[in-house]
Amino acid sequence: MKRLWLLLLVCVLLLSACSGETPCQTELFAMDTYMTIRVWDGEEALLSECAQLIYALEAQLSVTRSDSELSALNAQGQAELSSGTLSLLAQAICYSEKTEGAFDPTVYPLVESWGFPSGQAKIPDDETLAELLSSVGTAHIHCSDGEVLLDEGTRLDFGAIAKGYAAQCVAEYLAEQGVRAAMINLGGNVQTLGEKPDGTAWLVGIADPEEPSQAVATLRFTGSMALVTSGSYQRYLELDGQRYHHILDPKTGKPADSGLLSVTVLAQDGVLADAYSTALFVMGLEDGVAFWRQEQSFEAVFITQGGSIFATQGASALLSGCDFTEICA
């Protein structure tokens, strides 16, 4: 009898569903960051399926894991890629072209030369940077029939889009499974799905670049959205008292010095939001605003080195908790 009760209890736990106003949640560490996934409806087992999906994407796209699909391409200079990786590469090339190379998936030799993968800061000299820059640019990637060929010295890094892509994949998977409300937070790359059952808006904080554990402002909105922040505070190395952050300007090979501390992009698509947050950080406020006016596919919040906040018209309507300047179309 006792056994039967135990079996019933296990079955109930396995089939337990998320419903009502309190979400089910899972936390995991992947892609070098802490992640949280919350769903307001659907089977609780979906959460571990989402975690498996993220681990699989990490195994496919990581540039630091020697067994990943991307590392095999980087090591051999050519490879036949899976359809998922190929589609992400096509998107990366498209966003690189649109941003005139401010986002560039071929920056890996530069990223390595500053010591980011190992965490050991190094300062490459101008000669080294000039040599590495000669193999940076999407013109060095050649694709045909699923086969990708890289010019000598060219290596890919999906670090600026992998989390946005993973959040997008998880949101699409949950939607396919009939989930109507979810929030996916992959280390600050946030993706919302649908509306919360209690009808309240989604609230997402923008980190204070000077005090990243605190929010400097809040974005309030309803419905499905991707919100991605790129900031110099998120990852940096220190050498001789000097900080070197991880977002590189593909034109100089050096950490971008565009006058910004962070850029948050809001868009319907997670990969676009992630690629553009990196690109806008490199472009700076003026060029970033010109790009926003031209593209019209996203909204953005810029925080400058002086601490001023600028929000594009659509983002202004969602922003609260801070003083900011609205940028009109």
Phi-psi region of 113 (alpha: psi -120 to 50; beta: other; left: phi over 0): alpha
Closest CA to 103 of 224, 267, 282, 253: 282
Residues 176-205 that bind ligand AMP (CB under 6 A): none
Q: Which of 167, 246, 262, 300 lies at the binding interface for ligand AMP (CB under 6 A)?
A: 246
- Per DSSP, the three-state class of 88 is helix
| Among ligand AMP, Mg ion, none, partner that 98 touches (CB below 5 to 8 angstroms by kind) | none
Q: Which of 62, 278, 318, 319 lies at the binding interface for ligand AMP (CB under 6 A)?
A: 278
Token pair for 190: 């946030």
Tally of CA atoms within 13 A in the half-sphere of 116 that contains its CB: 24
Distance CA 32, CA 163 (A): 10
Span from 1-9, 53-61, 157-165, 213-221 in contact with ligand AMP (CB under 6 A): 157-165
Q: Which of 157, 208, 269, 299 lies at the binding interface for ligand AMP (CB under 6 A)?
A: 157
Residues 93-132 that bind ligand AMP (CB under 6 A): 103-105, 107, 111, 116
Q: Which of 148, 160, 289, 319 lies at the binding interface for Mg ion (CB under 5 A)?
A: 160
Contact 305, 260 (CB under 8 A): yes
Q: Which of 247, 261, 283, 303 lies at the binding interface for ligand AMP (CB under 6 A)?
A: 247
The alpha carbon of 160 is separated from its chain's Cα centroid by a whole number of angstroms, namely 6
The site map against Mg ion for 277-296 (x = CB under 5 A) is xx------------------
Span from 38-46, 143-151, 176-184, 275-283 in contact with Mg ion (CB under 5 A): 275-283
Q: Minimum Å distance from CB 266 to ligand AMP?
A: 15
Alpha helix ranges (H) inside the chain: 2-14, 45-61, 69-76, 83-98, 108-113, 126-133, 162-176, 270-283, 285-295, 313-316
**Residue 276 near ligand AMP by CB under 6 A:** no
Q: Minimum Å distance from CB 155 to ligand AMP?
A: 11
3-state helix, strand, coil in the chain (%, to 5): 35, 30, 35
* DSSP symbol at 124: -
Binding site for Mg ion (CB under 5 A): 160, 274, 277-278
Binding site for ligand AMP (CB under 6 A): 103-105, 107, 111, 116, 157, 159-160, 230, 234-235, 246-248, 250, 274, 277-278, 282
